[in-house]
Structure 1
Amino acid sequence: MATLDLNLLHTLDVLLTEGSVVRAGKRLQLSPSAMSRALARLRAVTGDQLLVRAGRGLVPTSRAIEMREKVHDLVEEAHVLLRPADRLELATLQRTFVLRTSDGIAETFGPMLIARVQQEAPRVQLRFVRKLDKDSEGLRDGSLDLETGVIGGTTGPEVRAQALFVDRYIGAVRGDDPLARGEVGPADYAAWNHVVAWRPGLNLLGINELMEALGLTRHVMTTVDGFSAALALARGSDLIATVPELHTSALREGMFTFPIPLPVPEFTISLLWHPRLDGDPAHRWLRKCVIEACGNRSKRVGIPVTGN
């Protein structure tokens, strides 16, 4: 039986990720001709064309699409397996971590996390991307290192999770709004116009249903796709923005906030990652940094911290 060249697995992963011989060659620091020869070898080994011409570009075959995720997982697991487990040199670590976070998380917890990373691993880069859905695909395909959010039905069953803190919804209005003069009751909350942050998959915890049970309705004048935008509109108008308290603590300076006068449940924000990174020393270090940054900030704001 011929010995399989496992270097081809890494080449295949890059080719299927890039979908381009030229871009894959640049990542692997190979000339276009050398990359074309590598693709020819992969076609011979797999018995499939893998990438076929479509117009000016290449598209993956059905076999390539089928194997793409598995190939990527194998390569990532190999990197983790072969990396020295107990030799994490933070001072010289060069790595970029991608964190997909819920709206307001970067603004609230980012400064404390960045300060910690700069002190311990000055060559590490953090890239925050905004979370617009609950799909776990980014954790599976390796384009994301960490994610924060509420665990839901669309969270992959294989995803690891660590509870970070408990949050709750509050109302926020501009500092000189008439509602800032006293206690806000259910009728007051219903009487004002509202701006609501909504997008597919965002859990609004049944606020409208709770109001209807009291015989009240609220008028949603404006919807936006994030809590930052909701607060910006409320700051410059007579609208009430309903936002998570701890998520947005760094965004509400100068605004008046009040508890939602309804039995709205609290919710838990968790840190999520793929199990193939469990044993990665650098990833373990970053998870610890995030957990401690969230825990320290949560204690300062007075929100319960959960988990270990």
Structure 2
Amino acid sequence: MNKIDGLLFMQHEHYLELDYRMINTLLVVLETGSITAAAQQLNVTQSAVSHTIERLRVIFHDPLFTRAGRGIVRTARAVQLGKELSLAVAHMRSLVQPTTFNPAQTVVDWKLAANDFQRDLILPEFYRRVAPQVLEFHLHIIPSEVPSIELLRDNNLDLVLSPICPDAPDILQKRLFTGKSICFFDNKIRPAPRTLADFQQATYVSLSFLDGKILANHPDEMIIDMDSKVRVRVSNFAGLAGFLRGTNLLAIAPDLMRYHALAGFAEAALPFAIPTLSMYM
């Protein structure tokens, strides 16, 4: 058995599942020695890295990594694979020669899914930068809400922008940024909430597609109680403003909304911990 046969000693159908993204994930985990560090370097979720490693264990018939305290230890097979796959990747890169690309003669037609927060925050500037550089730029944007994996798998969309990342190992993902949530309110109607009691006694406007999906998974009972005090649920971020204005409702939303949909509303910091908001594409 030669070196290539040894590297690809696996069932044929498993061999066909192996792709560059999986190989790159394995190489980064080998390099960093950590699932968490690899996810940060790749700008994906830890679950995406773990899913990939599980698939590679099946393909290579080896655990690849074993638990040791809080860390992981590479198996001998993983070390050998790292050496061989690094050479294979380098060879693949040498085979791929970039074709001539002339943006000025290119027609770009993209279909994206994004809610109004991501749409207003990211896409106008994206369009302003790309449009002058290409012959034509067509951008079709549909609401994403909770993104469907099938939309990407069936080639109905080119890209999804969402804080809710599809939990599927075959979907390529990148973290764009991580932000924090703050409280928005109408200071002409109510004073700023400052204490924990202020937030516990308040009522809220929130998003219909987040109903029970985020706050209810938070271990803090107070956060769960806040979710039960939502009085209005709207279909998109832009709808928050209409119900904040002239009422005593509060909205807990990404701080970046101060630059568009919630511009002009008063802000208050949260006196309790809440998960940070990561935006993925």
**How high is the TM-score relative to the length of structure 2?**
0.57
C-alpha contact 1:99 1:146 (8 A) present in aligned 2 = yes
Tell me, in whole angstroms, the C-alpha distance in 2 between the residues paired with 1:217 and 1:247.
Answer: 20
Where does residue 238 of structure 1 map in the other structure? 248
Q: Identify the match of residue 189 of structure 2 among 177, 181, 191.
A: 177
Deviation digits for residues 177-209 of structure 1 (CA, Å, limit 9, x no counterpart):
3224xx622111122221121326874344886
Deviation digits for residues 75-134 of structure 1 (CA, Å, limit 9, x no counterpart):
xxxxxxxxx952222112113101111331111122211110122125111111111223
Deviation digits for residues 201-250 of structure 1 (CA, Å, limit 9, x no counterpart):
87434488635389988632212222221232112422111212225631
Q: Report which structure shows greater RCO (CA 8 Å, sep ≥6).
A: 1
Q: Write the letter of the residue equivalent to 1:115.
A: R
The offset of 1:145, in angstroms, is 0.7
Q: Does 1:143 align with 2:156?
A: yes
Where does residue 126 of structure 1 map in the other structure? 139
2:267 counterpart SS class: strand
C-alpha contact 1:191 1:218 (8 A) present in aligned 2 = no
Q: Write the letter of the residue equivalent to 1:149.
A: S
1:160 counterpart SS class: coil
Q: Return 5+ residue gaps in structure 1 as ranges.
A: 1-83, 272-308
RMSD (CA atoms): 2.9
The offset of 1:253, in angstroms, is 1.3
Q: Write the letter of the residue equivalent to 1:145.
A: D
Tell me, in whole angstroms, the C-alpha distance in 1 between the residues paired with 2:212 and 2:105.
Answer: 40
Where does residue 265 of structure 1 map in the other structure? 275
C-alpha contact 1:167 1:267 (8 A) present in aligned 2 = yes
Q: Identify the match of residue 156 of structure 1 among 168, 187, 205.
A: 168
Q: Percent identity?
A: 19
| Structure 1 residues 215 and 245: alpha-carbon distance in aligned structure 2, compared to 1, 3 A threshold | closer
Q: Does 1:88 align with 2:101?
A: yes
Tell me, in whole angstroms, the C-alpha distance in 1 between the residues paired with 2:118 and 2:162.
Answer: 10
Q: Write the letter of the residue equivalent to 2:181.
A: Y
Any residues of structure 2 matched to 1:47-66 within 5 Å, and which?
none
Where does residue 278 of structure 1 map in the other structure? none
C-alpha contact 1:105 1:247 (8 A) present in aligned 2 = no
Q: Return 5+ residue gaps in structure 2 as ranges.
A: 1-96
Alignment length (residue pairs): 185
**How high is the TM-score relative to the length of structure 1?**
0.53
1:257 counterpart SS class: strand
Tell me, in whole angstroms, the C-alpha distance in 2 between the residues paired with 1:213 and 1:91.
Answer: 51
Tell me, in whole angstroms, the C-alpha distance in 1 between the residues paired with 2:112 and 2:234.
Answer: 23
